[in-house]
Structure 1
Amino acid sequence: MTSEIERAAAPRRQKVQSAEVGTDILKGLAELAPATSLSRLAEHVSMPASKVHRYLQALIASGFAEQDESTGHYGLGREALFVGLAAIGRLDVTKVALPRLVELRDALNETCFLAVWGNKGPTVVHVEQAVRAVTVVTQVGSVLPLLGSSTGLVFDAFLPAVELAALQAEALAEPGAPSAAELAALQAQIRARGLHHVHGLLMSGVNALSAPLFAAGEKLVGVITVVGTASSFPADPEGAQAERLRTVAAEISARMGGVAPQ
């Protein structure tokens, strides 16, 4: 009788084990994003390459993984993005910020987006595109440079040092990066203003303004950014657009129990 029960339970255990292996491989793809080779992924998840390849084929068939035909590398698929965005959607900062982001886009008629801190750095999680003939396209899922974008620099100014130490060290080692002293002065300026502006830093002819969002305990939970072409968006840190951005950031922070810098 016991052996019959065990035989009946065996397929269920195998399914659970298969699900666990598939989940580990999905996590590996996320940690090695945006793309990775089969050998690197197999080494990362400590599995034989043949086993990883077998599971990858099943994940590709279900839309959770995809393979770049030109490089042969693997990455997360559309279904994984859908699940990830659904999880992000449960975050309070996203729920609170989205209607305000729409209002900000309508008021300024410039592209506005929300970014949160991900394992690779500042990550765009929602975009409200401007309603105009020429817009600046910002993609959901984009990871912005820490010291090469207004969004990244606001994260750098307000996040605890321990959270961004590794990424900051990499960024400071890149050609054209500011010195440690220059970065410290810039951080102080951003904290004093409560926002940051850039003119053509990430992309020539494109300006941006970014402001931090705080929850209770003055915890930085996101950054909202307005971005537009230099011809239509001056990104003046003392102008009316910056003041509107500060107001929206303060309203979102207040709803979350935080206080935005004034």
Structure 2
Amino acid sequence: METTKKSRDTIQSLSIGISILDAIAKAKRPLKITEIQEETNITKSNLYKYINTLVQDDLIFRDQNSGLYHLGSKLIQYGMTAMGNQDVLAIMSPYLQSISEHTNNTALFSVPTFNGPVIAKITRSNQILNIGAEIGTLLPPYSAAGKIFNLFAEQHKTKKWKENYQSTIVEDLDEAQTIRKEKIAFAKEPLISEVSSVALPILNYLNELIGIITLVGFSSDIPGTIDHPQSKFLQEMRVEISKNF
């Protein structure tokens, strides 16, 4: 009797919404709304309501140019919160540990999403330091990771992010040129007083952004120039890590 009761205690509308996400996930590519309807058999009027809700909650992303629907950034945040055994994080974990131990600062790994770079892994140093970020935190454009995302992520991912932050994104062309060339970005106290960061892109063999490594710590301990010994160490680590992809 208990098993029967549990099987009935469900919310059908939630299952229908999940079926839309399943359809996009199984296709392994963005879908048109007509394709989603074919896969789910949801009536057109209801499908629009479900999709509008999912888009509003960042569970689905609609490309304004193509009209195609992608899985949204919030799903990536949820997944990254739970994905202790994913390949990318499994590869990154020992490197983050090494970076944190070598520098005695906190090392972060964030992934590119349609809403910006989202923290997926944190390796903390022995310092008692509240960096104000946890797994799933969305990093802003004025952070070191934000600068890397702005310049190295695919344009269809940065478009919405830039629109959301357009009042706070101020691009220094000289700085941008240096970041592109040297593949390293610095941010002095972008979020918290006395806490600064330096970030580097992890690129695959197609030069696509896989993720961003960020070193965070007290401003006195974080490098602010390319020729700093810690900057050179981080650049060496970036090259080594990127070989995995």
Partner Cα separation in structure 2 for residue 143 and residue 47 of structure 1: 22
Are the counterparts in 1 of residues 131 and 192 from structure 2 also a CA contact under 8 Å?
no
2:63 corresponds to: none
The residue type paired with residue 85 of structure 1 is T
Counterpart position of 1:96:
91
Tell me which residue corresponds to 1:86. Answer: 82
Alignment length (residue pairs):
193
Find out whether 1:45 has 2:50 as its counterpart: yes
Matched-pair contact (CA < 8 Å) for 1:235–1:241 = no
Q: Is the 8 A contact 2:142 2:187 kept in 1?
A: no
Cα distance in 2 for residues equivalent to 1:46 and 1:218: 33
Native 8 Å contact 2:108 2:121 kept in 1? yes
Give the unaligned 5+ runs of structure 2: 1-5, 23-47, 54-73
1:209 aligns with 2:204: no
**What is the CA distance between 1:235 and its match in structure 2?**
3.5
Q: Which residue of 1 aligns with 2:189?
A: 200
Give the counterpart of 2:120 among 114, 125, 131. 125
Taking structure 1 as reference, are residues 99 and 168 closer, same or farther at Cα in structure 2, changes over 3 Å only? same
The residue identity in structure 2 corresponding to 1:116 is V
Once residues 85 and 150 of structure 2 are traced to their aligned partners in structure 1, the CA distance between those partners, rounded to angstroms, is: 24
* Counterpart amino acid of residue 223 in structure 1: I
Give the Cα separation in 2 of the matches to 1:47 and 1:137. Answer: 32
Q: State the one-letter code of the partner of 2:149.
A: F
**CA shift for structure 1 position 17:** 4.9
Root mean square deviation of aligned Cα: 3.4
SS in 2 for 1:114: strand
* In 2, Cα distance between equivalents of 1:124 and 1:191: 22
Contact 2:186 2:198 in 1 (8 A): yes
1:155 aligns with 2:149: yes
Q: Structure 1: where are the runs of 5+ without partners?
A: 1-10, 28-42, 49-75, 257-262
CA deviation after TM superposition for structure 1 residue 21, in Å: 3.5
Once the 2 structures are TM-superposed, how far is the Cα of residue 26 of structure 1 from its aligned partner?
A: 9.5
**TM-score computed with the length of structure 2 as normaliser:** 0.67
% of aligned pairs identical?
Answer: 22
Structure 2: distance between partners of 1:126 and 1:47: 31
1:170-249, aligned counterparts within 5 Å?
170-174=164-168, 177-178=169-170, 182-249=171-238
Q: What is residue 35 of structure 2 aligned with on the other side?
A: none
Q: Is the 8 A contact 1:157 1:188 kept in 2?
A: no
Instruction: Output the CA distance in 2 between the equivalents of 1:160 and 1:213.
Output: 13
Q: Per-residue deviation at 1:138?
A: 2.9
| Counterpart-to-counterpart distance in 2, 1:139 and 1:128 | 11
Shift of 1:230: 1.5
1:32 equivalent in structure 2: none
Larger Rg: 1
Displacement after TM superposition at 1:210 (Å): 0.3
Change in Cα spacing, 1:110 to 1:44, as seen in structure 2 (3 Å) is farther
